[in-house]
Amino acid sequence: MLNLLIELGNLKRLPRTGWLLRGVASPESIADHSFRTAIIALFLADELVKRGVSINVERAVRIALLHDVGEARITDVPLTAQGYLNKGEAERKAVMELLLKSPLPEEYFGLWREYEEESTLEGKLVKFADRLEMLIQAYEYEKAGFSDLDEFWEVVERLRESEFYSYFRDIVEDLVERRSLVKQ
C-alpha cells in the first residue's frame, strides 16, 4: 500500500493541463481539483438527503476521492488531446493497475467505474460535482484576469441537462451570472 500512496502523491505535483494550455501560469494541481470536487460532492449529497433524495453520501464522497486516481499515471489529458487518444481506456488501465494490483479491496475499482460510467446516482452526482468544480475554477481564473477560457464554460449545458440541475439550479445560474459580470 505504501507504494500506491507514494505514487498517488503525483497528483499533488501534476498540474491540470487545460489551464496551462490557456495561459494560466501556476494552475491548480489534480489533487487540488479532486479535493474541491470531493467537498462539493459531500455538500451536494447532504443537500439531496435534506430534500428527501435517497443517496449514499459516504459512497459519493468515496467516489469523488477516487475519481482522478488514474491521472497519477496518465496525467491530466487536456480535451484537445483526448480526441487523439483513447483516454478512457488508458485511464481504466491505469486505475486497474493502481487499485487492483494493490492490497486494497476490489470495491475501489468499482467505485471509480461508477463515476466513469455514471451508473449510479452517486456516480452521476460526482460527475456533476466534477464539472461544477471546473466551472468554479474557470470563474476564479477569469476573475484573476485570465482569458481564453470560454471552452470550459461549454460544460454549463451538461449541468443544465443533468438530473441534479433542478436541485442546484441556483448555484449553476449564480455562477454563470457572476461570470457575466467579470466578462463585462
Write the CATH number of the domain with boundaries 2-183. 1.10.3210.10
Q: What is the 3-state secondary structure (H, E, C) of 45-103?
A: HHHHHHCCCCCCHHHHHHHHHHCCCCHHHHCCCCHHHHCCCCHHHHHHHHHHHHHHCCC
Helices 30-50 and 57-66 meet at what angle, rounded to 10? 170
- The pTM of this model reads 0.94
Task: Indicate the pLDDT class of residue 161, thresholds 50, 70 and 90.
Answer: very high
pLDDT digits (tens, 9 = 90+) for 112-136: 999 999 999 999 999 999 999 999 9
The DSSP code sequence of 137-180 is HHHHHHHTT----GGGGGGHHHHHHSTTHHHHHHHHHHHHHHHH
**Cα–Cα dist 166/174, whole Å:** 14
What are the domain boundaries of the chain?
Answer: 2-183
pLDDT digits (tens, 9 = 90+) for 64-111: 999 999 999 998 887 778 778 877 788 899 999 998 887 787 899 999
